[in-house]
Structure 1
Amino acid sequence: MFKPVPSSALQPDAENASERFTRALVALTRQVWSPECTFETAIGAICQTAASALQIERVSVWNYEATASCLRCLHVYDAKSGLSAPFDALETLPLDEDDYIAPFKDVRTLEVDELQRDAEMARSHLALRDYLQRHRIHGVLDAPAFVGGELQGVICHESLEGARTWSPEETTFAASMGDYVAMAFEIARRRRAEAEVEHLRLHDGATGLPNRDYMTELIRQRFLGGPLRKNEILAIVHVQMDVSRGVAWSPGAPSVDEVMGRVAQILRSLMGNDTELARTSAEGFSFLVSTHPAKRTVIRLAESILTTLESMDWHHADVDPGASIGIAVAEQAVAQDALLLLQQGEEAAAQARAAGRFGYAIYDTEHHASLVEALRFERALRDGFANGEFELHYQPEYDAGHGRWVAAEALLRWRSGEQLRVAGEFIGVLEPSRLMVNVGRWVLRQACQDATTWPANAAGTAPSVRVNVSARQFDESGLLEDVRAALDASGLDPARLSLELTETTLMRDIDHALDILRPLREMGVQVAIDDFGTGYASLVYLKRLPVDALKIDRSFVEGMPDSAADLAIVRAVVGLAAAFEIEVIAEGVETQAQAASLAAAGVHRLQGWLYGKAMPNAALCQVLKAPVESESLPSR
Structure 2
Amino acid sequence: MSAELQTTDRSERGAWARRHNHALVALARQVWHDRCSLESAYAQICEVAAATLEADRVGIWLLDPTHARLACVHLFERAGALHNPPGAHEVLRMGEEYGARLGKLRVVDAADATHDEALTADDPALSDYLERHGIVSMLDAPVRSGGELIGVVCHEQVGSPRIWTPEDQAFAASIGDYVAMAAEINRRRKAENRLRYLELHDPLTDLPNRDHLLEVAHSALRPMHGGDRELAAIHLQIESCGAVGDDASVLVELATRLRRELGDVVTLARVREHAFALLPHGPLSETEALELAERCLELVQAAHHAAAVGVAFARDLKAPSAHVLLRNAELASQRARGDGRNRCEVFDAEHHRGLLERRGIERALREAMAQERLQVWFQPEIDLRDGRWLAAEALLRWQDADGTLHPAGEFIDVAESSGLIVPLGRWVLESACRLACGWPARDGTAPVLRVNVSARQFEQPGLLADIEQVLQDTGLPRARLCLELTETALLADAEGAAQTLSRLRALGIGIALDDFGTGWASLGYLKRLPIDAIKLDRSFIGGLPADHYDSAIVEAVATIARKIGIDVVAEGVESQAQADALRALGIVRAQGFLFAPALDNAELLARYGAG
**Secondary structure at the residue paired with 1:99?**
helix
How far residue 22 of structure 1 moved from its aligned partner, in angstroms, is: 1.3
How far residue 231 of structure 1 moved from its aligned partner, in angstroms, is: 4.8
Q: Does structure 2 retain, via aligned residues, the 8 Å contact 1:18–1:169?
A: yes
Are residues 1:233 and 2:230 paired?
yes
Q: Does structure 2 retain, via aligned residues, the 8 Å contact 1:109–1:142?
A: yes
How far residue 10 of structure 1 moved from its aligned partner, in angstroms, is: 6.9
Structure 2 residue aligned with 1:144: 142
How far residue 369 of structure 1 moved from its aligned partner, in angstroms, is: 7.5
Structure 2 residue aligned with 1:360: 344
Structure 2 residue aligned with 1:28: 27
Structure 1 residue aligned with 2:200: 202
Cα deviation 1:145-181 (Å, max 9, x = unaligned): 1111222221111112321111111111100000111
Q: Does structure 1 retain, via aligned residues, the 8 Å contact 2:377–2:396?
A: no
Structure 1 residue aligned with 2:39: 40
Pair 66,310 (structure 1): closer, same or farther in 2 beyond 3 Å: same
**Secondary structure at the residue paired with 2:231?**
strand
**Secondary structure at the residue paired with 1:336?**
coil
For 1:336, the aligned partner's letter is P
Pair 375,287 (structure 1): closer, same or farther in 2 beyond 3 Å: farther
Cα deviation 1:540-570 (Å, max 9, x = unaligned): xxxxxxxxxxxxxxxxxxxxxxxxxxxxxxx
**Larger relative contact order, structure 1 or 2 (CA cutoff 8 Å, min sep 6):** 1
Q: Distance in 1 between matches of 2:409 and 2:218?
A: 31
Matches for 1:170-569 after TM superposition, within 5 Å: 170-224=168-222, 226-228=223-225, 231-242=228-239, 250=244, 253-254=245-246, 256-291=247-282, 294-312=285-303, 322-330=306-314, 335-367=319-351, 370=354, 416-418=397-399, 419-420=404-405, 486-487=576-577, 489=579
Structure 2 residue aligned with 1:69: 68
**Secondary structure at the residue paired with 2:97?**
coil
How far residue 230 of structure 1 moved from its aligned partner, in angstroms, is: 5.5
Structure 1 residue aligned with 2:125: 127
Normalised by the length of structure 2, the TM-score is 0.58
Structure 1 residue aligned with 2:18: 19
How many percent identity over aligned positions? 33
Q: Distance in 1 between matches of 2:11 and 2:107?
A: 22
Q: Does structure 2 retain, via aligned residues, the 8 Å contact 1:275–1:288?
A: yes
Q: Does structure 2 retain, via aligned residues, the 8 Å contact 1:389–1:416?
A: no
How far residue 272 of structure 1 moved from its aligned partner, in angstroms, is: 4.6
- Greater mean deviation of Cα atoms: 226-235 or 274-283: 226-235
Are residues 1:101 and 2:99 paired?
yes
Q: Distance in 1 between matches of 2:39 and 2:267?
A: 31
How far residue 53 of structure 1 moved from its aligned partner, in angstroms, is: 0.9
Q: Distance in 1 between matches of 2:102 and 2:335?
A: 69
Normalised by the length of structure 1, the TM-score is 0.56
Q: Does structure 1 retain, via aligned residues, the 8 Å contact 2:230–2:284?
A: yes
Cα deviation 1:181-240 (Å, max 9, x = unaligned): 11111111111111111111111122111111111111111122x353755432111111
How far residue 61 of structure 1 moved from its aligned partner, in angstroms, is: 0.9
For 2:104, the aligned partner's letter is D
**Secondary structure at the residue paired with 2:36?**
coil
Q: Distance in 2 between matches of 1:100 and 1:354?
A: 76
Cα deviation 1:25-68 (Å, max 9, x = unaligned): 11112222223222222211111111111011111111212123
Q: Distance in 2 between matches of 1:42 and 1:311?
A: 51
Q: Does structure 1 retain, via aligned residues, the 8 Å contact 2:316–2:349?
A: no
Structure 1 moving runs of 4+ over 6 Å:
9-12, 372-377, 422-426, 440-445, 473-477, 481-485
How far residue 417 of structure 1 moved from its aligned partner, in angstroms, is: 4.6
Pair 90,296 (structure 1): closer, same or farther in 2 beyond 3 Å: farther
For 2:231, the aligned partner's letter is L
Q: Distance in 2 between matches of 1:370 and 1:487?
A: 40
**Secondary structure at the residue paired with 1:46?**
helix
Structure 1 residue aligned with 2:49: 50
| Count of residue pairs brought into register by the alignment | 411
How far residue 295 of structure 1 moved from its aligned partner, in angstroms, is: 3.3
Pair 338,155 (structure 1): closer, same or farther in 2 beyond 3 Å: same
**Secondary structure at the residue paired with 1:138?**
strand
Q: Distance in 2 between matches of 1:89 and 1:326?
A: 59
Cα deviation 1:418-469 (Å, max 9, x = unaligned): 554599989xxxxxxx89x966887999xxxxxxxxxxxxxxxxxxxxxxxx
Cα deviation 1:274-323 (Å, max 9, x = unaligned): 3111112222211111446643332232222212212325xxxxxxx531
For 2:340, the aligned partner's letter is G
Pair 490,110 (structure 1): closer, same or farther in 2 beyond 3 Å: closer
Q: Distance in 1 between matches of 2:20 and 2:272?
A: 57
**Secondary structure at the residue paired with 2:256?**
helix
Q: Distance in 2 between matches of 1:121 and 1:346?
A: 72
Flag structure 1 segments of 5+ consecutive residues without an equivalent: 1-8, 314-320, 381-385, 392-413, 427-433, 446-472, 492-614, 620-636
Q: Distance in 2 between matches of 1:64 and 1:97?
A: 12
Q: Distance in 2 between matches of 1:475 and 1:13?
A: 58
Q: Does structure 2 retain, via aligned residues, the 8 Å contact 1:11–1:167?
A: no
For 1:268, the aligned partner's letter is R
**Which structure's residues are more often helix, by fraction?**
2
How far residue 133 of structure 1 moved from its aligned partner, in angstroms, is: 2.3
Q: Distance in 1 between matches of 2:547 and 2:351?
A: 32
**Secondary structure at the residue paired with 1:200?**
helix
Pair 417,132 (structure 1): closer, same or farther in 2 beyond 3 Å: farther
Flag structure 2 segments of 5+ consecutive residues without an equivalent: 1-7, 366-375, 382-394, 412-517, 520-535, 555-571, 582-598, 604-611
Pair 222,440 (structure 1): closer, same or farther in 2 beyond 3 Å: closer
Which structure is larger by alpha-carbon Rg, 1 or 2?
1
Q: Does structure 2 retain, via aligned residues, the 8 Å contact 1:231–1:292?
A: no
Matches for 1:110-121 after TM superposition, within 5 Å: 110-121=108-119
Q: Distance in 2 between matches of 1:95 and 1:57?
A: 23
Q: Distance in 2 between matches of 1:32 and 1:195?
A: 19
For 2:259, the aligned partner's letter is R
Q: Does structure 1 retain, via aligned residues, the 8 Å contact 2:141–2:176?
A: yes
How far residue 324 of structure 1 moved from its aligned partner, in angstroms, is: 1.1
**Secondary structure at the residue paired with 1:101?**
helix
